Amino acid sequence: MVAALCPTCSLCCNGVLHRWTRVFPGEEALLERLGLEKVVRDGTPCFDQPCPRLAEPLCTVYADRPRTCRTYHCALLQKVEAGTVDVAAAQRDIAAARAAIDRIRAALSLPAGATPWPAVTALLEALAAAPDPIAARRKHAKLLADVATLELLARARFLPPQPP
């Protein structure tokens, strides 16, 4: 199932779903070889996303990738593997997410591969601080719709269910 979904996706590597990737003890030499900088986030050893070894949508070090990358299966992939979501439906969700990312990057003039969230957060703060926040949001209605779509897809399809 990985082959049917992941090569067109990379949402778990490009910073859309996660801010960092966990590193396990003993992977220091591997990280150095791959040019991945080990940092600590929320008390967890990791490297930051978007991953510098990602050339969207593909991992450039796939055969040598760290343990988290080898074992991570997002909720969507797990559901396809369990047979509760069919491959075509999952591919449609991936395509919709990727299209939203492309439009958000274009609207915000972000470079290829950039994680959209920091720029989206900055925009939302600017809109909230505008003299007429409603008019300001209306001007960016298409972009905000894409942001809402991407957030919804990430939460409802790719990430594990959150506790109520």
- How far apart (Å, rounded) are the C-alpha atoms in residues 131 and 124? 14
By CB under 6 A, residue 76 contacts ligand SF4 = yes
For the CB of residue 73, give the shortest distance to ligand SF4 in the complex, in Å: 5
Quick one: 23 or 144, whose CB is closer to ligand SF4?
23
Question: Are residues 154 and 144 in contact, defined by beta-carbon separation less than 8 angstroms?
Answer: no
115 binds ligand SF4, rule: CB under 6 A: no
Q: How far is the CB of 138 from ligand SF4 (least distance, A)?
A: 32
Comparing CB distances to ligand SF4, the nearer of 17 and 144 is 17
Minimum distance from CB of 4 to ligand SF4 (Å)?
9
Q: How far is the CB of 137 from ligand SF4 (least distance, A)?
A: 29
Nearest-approach distance from CB 89 to ligand SF4, in angstroms:
12
Q: Which of residues 6-65 bind ligand SF4 (CB under 6 A)?
A: 6, 9-13, 17, 21, 51, 53-54, 59, 61, 65
Nearer Cβ to ligand SF4 (51/101): 51
Stretch that binds ligand SF4, among 38-46, 73-81, 99-107, 144-152 (CB under 6 A): 73-81
User: In terms of C-beta distances under 8 Å and separation of at least 24 residues, what long-range contacts does 29-37 make, across chains too?
Assistant: 30/64, 30/66, 31/66, 33/64, 34/61, 34/64, 34/65, 34/66, 36/66
Binding site for ligand SF4 (CB under 6 A): 5-6, 9-13, 17, 21, 51, 53-54, 59, 61, 65-66, 69, 72-74, 76-77, 158
